Homo-oligomer: A and B are copies of this chain.
Amino acid sequence: MSTVNTKVERPENALVDALMAFGVATIHEAQGWKGLLARHLRPIYAGIRVGGSALTVSVPPGDKWMVHVAIEQLHAGDILVVAPTSDGVDGYFGDVLATSAMAWGCRGLVMDAGVRDVRDLTAMGFPVWSKTIYAHRTVKETLGSVNVPAVCAGEYVCPGDIVLADDDGVGVVRYEEAMDVLSRGIDREQREERVRERLKNGELGPDIYAMRERLAANGLIYN
């Protein structure tokens, strides 16, 4: 039952990059508020942003064997998405694995557990979103799977899904919905840009969004 799926359909880089230009929060909104991973995933250093194609790795708790196995499946533009099958915090990933992943074109790591060697990862410019920073041991004893659908930080992620990550956290967009999400992201951004202009000039949300009548109907009282 442990498998490595070597044939994954990946999104075009241009599509990924176009989505990433909007950022995690806007794309989350644009796709109807779905696909946002749990908030415990935080960047290990400030200011990183990256989008890519999900290379999923399902691992037993505390076992990093499959991460080693996953590296050669990387294509340029992929993001490693590592999902332990049980809650844990041990340190699956450090500078050695990052060196290997970068050599194979990996754009970053989403790790629903711990990472280590944070100073080195930062110096290498390898972007990581993790649940914690913890150098505790993991072993290489038990198999898992590579490029299978997996639940990572509360969201279902499939190989080849588009992963987006920035200061706001990590989001996932299904490959087949990406074009539609992008087009709605563009609309939303344009609308929002116009709103921002008006707000900057001191206009008010309740007027722009025409809320006043509904506020009164709901019984809001001004004293």
Contacts and interface: CB of A to CB of B under 8 A. Distances in A.
Interface of A: 1-7, 23-25, 28-29, 32-34, 36, 38-39, 42, 45-47, 49, 60-63, 65, 68-69, 71-72, 85-91, 94-97, 99-100, 103-104, 114, 116-119, 122, 132-137, 139-143, 149, 151, 154-156, 166-169, 171, 192, 195-196, 199-202, 204-206, 209, 211, 215, 218-223
21 contacts: A2-B220, A3-B222, A4-B221, A5-B223, A25-B117, A33-B85, A60-B62, A65-B211, A65-B215, A72-B204, A72-B206, A85-B137, A87-B89, A88-B88, A88-B89, A95-B196, A96-B196, A97-B205, A100-B199, A149-B156, A151-B154
Contacts of A42: 133
B218 A143 contact: yes
Nearest to A33: B137
A223 B69 CA distance: 14
Given A71-B205, A96-B199, A25 B61 contact: no
Copies in the complex: 6
A211 B140 contact: yes
Contacts of A155: 151
A111 B166 CA distance: 21
B60 A25 contact: no
A52 B202 CA distance: 20
A158 to B, nearest CB: 11
Given A96-B192, A142-B139, A4 B133 contact: no
A114 B136 CA distance: 19
A190 to B, nearest CB: 13
